[in-house]
């Protein structure tokens, strides 16, 4: 009897775990991370730390008494998504989308490492689809618009639009400036096609001795935001966690203090990644 009870308990736990893996993204993410500890997927390193330090010596070492410390290779987490969306009413486009899990912004071009600005604000404020409607209306009008023009922009009752406006103001996404509403983040860049120009190869790296930067956002959070931002025709077909190699180069100053700069190992450029 005890053996039967043990087998039934084991079967129940196994079924429950498999069901959770299939239907709960967070559980699947943890399981995949546990099973894939031996290696992980990264963008390929194209510049060595020695090359970067040599090329940027005049910029980074300001004079006598300044010296380099031992560089460290860090890996910044991103989610790589295979997506499809409607480019216009007659065309469906398939593409690849790379999104940062530390800064909450989407990469538009991996060669230049250009990225969006404003999506992290939307993540932090938990913006919904109506918030995005108002934000995009302001973006289309150079970031600011008066109430009457905003009313004319939407084919909805004024009371409904007032609720949308109040939601954006409460979430600190827009503010009143004079007689206009304006976006509460500088230089917005969110009204773009949901695709990344990905020109670099993906490679596998051993997990041993690799320093990964902690995620600030989960792939499921990013996926939910992308779905809201890009509309009902946007679909994520598959997502994979990948990493960007970044050198942290320490510099010792003549007074003994130190500072660090971060360099994208993919394009050799200084970066503001945090």
Closest of 71, 107, 105, 104 to residue 246, by C-alpha: 71
Given a cut of 70, whether residue 183 has pLDDT beyond it is: yes
**pLDDT confidence tier of residue 26, bands split at 50, 70 and 90:** low
Question: Among 24-28, 167-171, 208-212, whose mean pLDDT is lowest?
Answer: 24-28
Buried b (16+ CB within 10 A) or exposed e, 239-270: bebbbbbbbbbebeeeeeeeeebbbbbbeeee
**Model pTM?**
0.81
183 to each of 142, 189, 225, how far by Cα in Å?
A: 9, 11, 18
Q: Rounded to whole angstroms, how far apart are CA atoms 34 and 36? A: 6
Q: Rounded to whole angstroms, how far apart are CA atoms 118 and 154? A: 22
**pLDDT confidence tier of residue 167, bands split at 50, 70 and 90:** very high
Q: Rounded to whole angstroms, how far apart are CA atoms 98 and 103? A: 12
Mean pLDDT of the chain: 86
């Amino acid at each position: 009897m005890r053996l039967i009870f043990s087998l039934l308990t084991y079967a129940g736990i196994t079924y429950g775990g498999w069901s959770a893996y299939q239907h709960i993204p967070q559980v699947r993410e943890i399981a995949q991370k546990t099973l894939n500890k031996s290696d992980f997927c990264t963008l390929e390193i194209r510049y060595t730390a020695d090359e970067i330090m040599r090329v940027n010596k005049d910029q980074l070492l300001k004079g006598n008494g300044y010296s380099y410390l031992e560089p460290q290779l860090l890996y910044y987490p991103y989610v790589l998504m295979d997506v499809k969306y409607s480019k216009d009413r007659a065309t469906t486009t398939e593409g690849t989308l790379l999104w940062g899990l530390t800064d909450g912004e989407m990469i538009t071009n991996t060669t230049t490492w250009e990225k969006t600005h404003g999506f992290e604000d939307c993540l932090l404020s938990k913006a919904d689809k109506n918030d995005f409607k108002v934000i995009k209306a302001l973006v289309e009008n150079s970031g600011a618009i008066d109430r009457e023009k905003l009313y004319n922009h939407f084919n909805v009752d004024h009371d409904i639009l007032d609720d949308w406006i109040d939601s954006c103001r409460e979430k600190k996404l827009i503010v009143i400036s004079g007689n206009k509403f304006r976006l509460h983040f500088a230089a917005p860049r969110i009204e773009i096609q949901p695709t990344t120009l990905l020109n670099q190869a993906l490679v596998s790296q051993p997990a041993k001795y690799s320093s990964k930067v902690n995620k600030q956002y989960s792939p499921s959070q990013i996926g939910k935001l992308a779905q809201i931002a890009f509309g009902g025709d946007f679909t994520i077909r598959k997502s994979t966690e990948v990493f960007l190699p970044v050198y942290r180069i320490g510099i010792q100053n003549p007074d003994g203090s130190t500072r660090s700069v971060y360099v994208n190992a993919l394009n050799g450029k200084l970066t503001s990644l945090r």
